[in-house]
Amino acid sequence: MDILGKEAPSIDVGMRLRSLREERGVSMRALARRSGLSANALSMIERGLTSPSVSTLHKLSNALEVPITAFFREDPPRTKIVFCKASERVRVPILRGVWEGLGGDSFSGRMEPFMITLETGGSSGPYGMLHTGHEFVFCLRGSLEYEVDGQRFLLQSGDSLIFAAQLLHRWRNVGKTVANAIIVLAGFEESEHPSEFHFTRPQPAGAQPDTKEQSASQPSHNS
């Protein structure tokens, strides 16, 4: 069975957009100014008459200062046992890829597993991330480069990586084919949603990406 090709149930992104906008007291016109989208386009999205593209969702997430997953999160009841069928996973489009939840949003413990599918060049964005807890990565196919605390690790099919998540880290698909990986976050603070750090997200005004390149004394670690 091809677990990577399953379709997931649709989520009313328009309704979530309206809810997020109203929660923050932002009018349709104000959101149009902030996002660079027309009020008519926003109205059509909220009424479910059109589906926003990934680039449009990123403009809206920046304008509302929320992670892109906020448009897809349903906050279901949390339980101690979670059975997640492949056909029922939440799928969130990210730049040059897809994020898929693996039941962490329903689990009462501090663990969030998810899967990422990345096109060539797809990444977590130009900014490093850090959060509490620990991170486990298992590469299913393709090549995934993880940079952790200035060190680079090339994960290929079957390779894995574990590290303390408070170390600055980021990832990208450096190969010529689609890459898939399962990432498990654990032991984080209850107030955090650490999976939301793992893709391009809004940045404070004036922030600059970390363009520091790895020095010659820190060679890549190939598993």
Give pLDDT tens digits for 1-20.
Answer: 344 444 444 567 888 898 88
Provide the domain limits for residue 29: 13-71
Residue 105 sits in the same domain as residue 205: yes
DSSP string, 197-212: GSS-----TT-----P
Between the alpha carbon of residue 55 and those of residues 35, 75, 137, 206, the distances in Å are 11, 24, 27, 21
Is 198 part of a structural domain of the chain? yes
Check residues 9 and 62 and name the one with the higher pLDDT. Answer: 62
Residue 48 sits in the same domain as residue 138: no
- Pairwise CA distance, residues 188 & 185, whole Å: 7
Q: What is the CATH number of the domain that holds 104?
A: 2.60.120.10
Query: Model pTM?
Result: 0.66
Q: Which residues of 114-147 are buried (b: 16+ CB within 10 A; e: fewer)?
A: bbbbbeeebbbbeebbebbbebbbbbbbbbbbbb
Report which residue type is found at 130: L
Is 153 part of a structural domain of the chain? yes
Residue 206 sits in the same domain as residue 127: yes
Residue 116 sits in the same domain as residue 209: yes
pLDDT tens per residue, range 179-219: 999 999 998 887 666 776 665 544 433 444 443 333 323 33
Distance of CA 223 to the CA centre of its chain: 25
Q: Pick from 40, 71, 102: which residue ends a domain? A: 71
Is 81 part of a structural domain of the chain? no
Is 152 part of a structural domain of the chain? yes
Is 42 part of a structural domain of the chain? yes
Residue 61 sits in the same domain as residue 106: no
Residue 109 sits in the same domain as residue 205: yes
Tokens 């920046």, residue?
62
pLDDT for position 73: 67
pLDDT for position 7: 42
- Pairwise CA distance, residues 210 & 13, whole Å: 32
Q: What angle do CA 203, 127, 26 make, to 5 degrees?
A: 20
Confidence of residue 53 (pLDDT cuts 50, 70, 90): confident
Report which residue type is found at 114: F
Check residues 103 and 73 and name the one with the higher pLDDT. Answer: 103
Is 39 part of a structural domain of the chain? yes
Residue 34 sits in the same domain as residue 95: no
pLDDT at 66 over 60: yes
pLDDT tens per residue, range 86-124: 988 888 887 788 989 898 888 888 899 999 999 999 988
